[in-house]
Amino acid sequence: MSKRDDFGSSFIEPISRRHKKDSFESGQPSLDYYLKKQASQDVKRKVAVTYAAIDGRKHVIGYYTLSSFSIRLPELPAATIKRLPKYPQIPATLLGRLAVDESHQGTGLGEHLLMDALARALRAASEIASYAVVVDAVDGRAIDFYERYNFVQFPDNGQRLFLPMSIIAKAFSDPAI
């Protein structure tokens, strides 16, 4: 896992009305629609929090969402289940969406957003239990992206992947990151 401490003049903050979303195009219509039409409503309803990478002109150049989640124990790989208490569900954090504007794809912004999301999830897990960060990859390219960061596919749902908080904690405690 790697992390970038500096990403040019962009920064990440909770989405607000002052952010310009209309020109955002990631190449994934469902992710574009969510940012433009649904994200603010989900924030208002406390269903998800959206964090946006903002350029100097307040344009959203990337974003991700976080919310609470639970994993049904039988959905996890057998080796993982053996190490967990036999509760019907295990608490987790859902990284529901992550998208980068086409003009910034291939620049490392996706990695920057992912590292920010993992760091926030790890901090939150110190106050509200969360075994792992779970993602629902939109396509094969997204699966490849998450697997580069050691996410593991759920056995019966290849589009859903997870990364245990213990691995995230080790990664962020490594001074090389």
* 158 SS3 class: strand
Q: What digits encode the pLDDT tens for the residues 120-144?
A: 999 999 999 999 999 999 999 999 9
Q: What are the boundaries of each domain within the chain? A: 11-173
Q: Which one of the listed residues 64, 131, 146, 149 is annotated catalytic?
A: 146
Assess whether 146 carries a catalytic annotation. yes
Residue 147: CB atoms within 10 Å: 13
State pLDDT tens for residues 16-57: 999 999 999 999 999 999 999 999 999 999 999 999 999 989
Q: What is the CATH number of domain 11-173?
A: 3.40.630.30
d(CA 113, CA 7): 10
How far apart (Å, rounded) are the C-alpha atoms in residues 50 and 62? 10
